[in-house]
Structures are given as structure tokens and as C-alpha cells.
Amino acid sequence: MPITTQLVSKLPSSVKVIAKLGVGFEKIDVNMCRHRDIEVCYTPDYGTNTVADHAVALLFAAQRHLLTFHNSIVEKHQWNYKVAGKLQELNTMTLGIIGCGRIGTCFADKMRPFVKQILTHNSKNSTTNTLKEIFEECDIISLHIPMSTMNHHLISSDSIAQMKRCPILINVSRGGLIDTKALVQALKNGQISYAALDVVEGEPDIDEELVKLDNVLLTPHVAWYTEESKRALRTKAIEDILRVLRGERPIYPVPD
């Protein structure tokens, strides 16, 4: 549920802290909370390895067209390697990672032995690759950035037009980073060869055209989940709530 200006304004003065179970806090009116002297915390590092593992799984499944082969066998009773078209060796491919925080860095470490090279983009670090370089040079592009006004529809018809290598697109961050209509069109015309998405715009309501495509693999915003990560998520949030109630600073306040 969004924590809006209207909702925050109605909270009693006894409310001292709001803790977000997860990384994204774009649905919380942080400025209004601060105006009301309400501390806002989040849990940015509870599932780093888990989300990175899921991104790896999506990448391998997409690059090897595993779902295509599975559906061909189960639905059409075909036993034919040609159903997925021409496959490329992973160690000849360039991976582009947009976002070099905890998860993006962990994902890069996991993938480094498998790909030809890795290009990274971090908007706060001028020594990393530009988005233009990522779009033009990468065979696989994986998104690991938070949702923000600046990042909304980062993958759009304009950015897709810059993609020279018909890349695989992976998203384990936020659905709003991708313009769904532009993605559907790109998947249909081959500008993007495959999309492996754990998050989609407007979830859980999914664009009907996207679901119908054969070159799409979807999971239901589950990249964060293992029993261990769920336990860590709750524990870290509760510990920060208790810190605030004791008059201490939380370890994970939302950034300015």
C-alpha cells in the first residue's frame, strides 16, 4: 500500500518509524514523513545473493532458450534442437550491467567466469561505461537500479533503437524501468531477442501482448525469495524499528 502524503498526515504523533520490507521505497512519501518527524527505514542488503542468483538463472534460461525447448516437447511433442533458432556460445557474449550497487556487483562477480566481457554503468561513477556503450555493444543487458523519476522507462523505444546486437534483456529490479509497449514491439520485430523478467510494469496485471510472446520468460517478482532472505528481511527491519524506538539512529535509513 502506498504511504501517501494524505495517509502520513493522518498518522497519530505516536508513530515514530516506518520500515519498508524491501529495497524500493518509491511508494513512501519520505519528505512528508520527515516533516512529521517519522523515521523511514528500508532493507537494502537482505537478499543480495538471492536476487543475483535469480538474475543468473534468468540469464542462463534465456540464453539457452530453455522454456522454448520445454514447451516444444510438452506442448508439441517435438524433439528438435532447431526450434530455438541459432544459439550463441555464452563465452563469446558481452554482458552489460546497469547499476553497480550490491546486487549488480554480486551479479557481475557470478557471471564473470562465463562471459567474454562485462560492461557496467553507474550514474554516480563517471569511470564506468556510458549507457550508449551498454546499448550499442552488449549482447545481454541486465537492470539493477532503483525506480526513480529519472529511471522511469529507461528502456524505451529511443534506447532500444540504440541497441545494435539484438540483446537479451533481464530485469530483476522494478517493472517501471521498462516501457512495456516498446518492449513488446521490440520483441516482435527482433530488436530485443529475448526478455527474462522478474518484474513487470503494473504487476500483477500484465500486458496481454507480452504474455503471448514466445521470447519472454516471466517470474512473479520472486527474485528476492528464499527462506533465508525472508528471515533476514524481517529481522533487519525489526532491529531498525527497535533502534528508533530506543532513540538510536537506524542502520538503514532511506537516503536523501
**Catalytic: 174?**
yes
Q: Could you say which of 203, 209, 234, 239 is catalytic? A: 203
Q: Is 36 a residue of the active site? A: no
d(CA 94, CA 135): 11
Query: CA-to-CA distance for 129 and 214, rounded, in angstroms?
Result: 31
Q: Is 239 designated active site?
A: no
**Helix/strand/coil for 179:** coil
Task: Give the cell for residue 137.
Answer: 555493444
Q: Provide φ and ψ at 67, rounded to 5°.
A: -65, -35
Give the active site residue among 54, 65, 121, 174.
174
Selected catalytic residue, list 36, 221, 234, 243: 221
- For the record, the C-alpha cell of 186 comes out as 521490440
Q: How many CB atoms lie within 10 A of CB 57?
A: 17
Which residues are CB-neighbours of 166 under 8 A, at least 6 positions away? Answer: 190, 191, 192, 193
3-state secondary structure of 32: helix
* Cβ(147)–Cβ(24) below 8 Å: yes
- Catalytic positions, please? 174, 203, 221
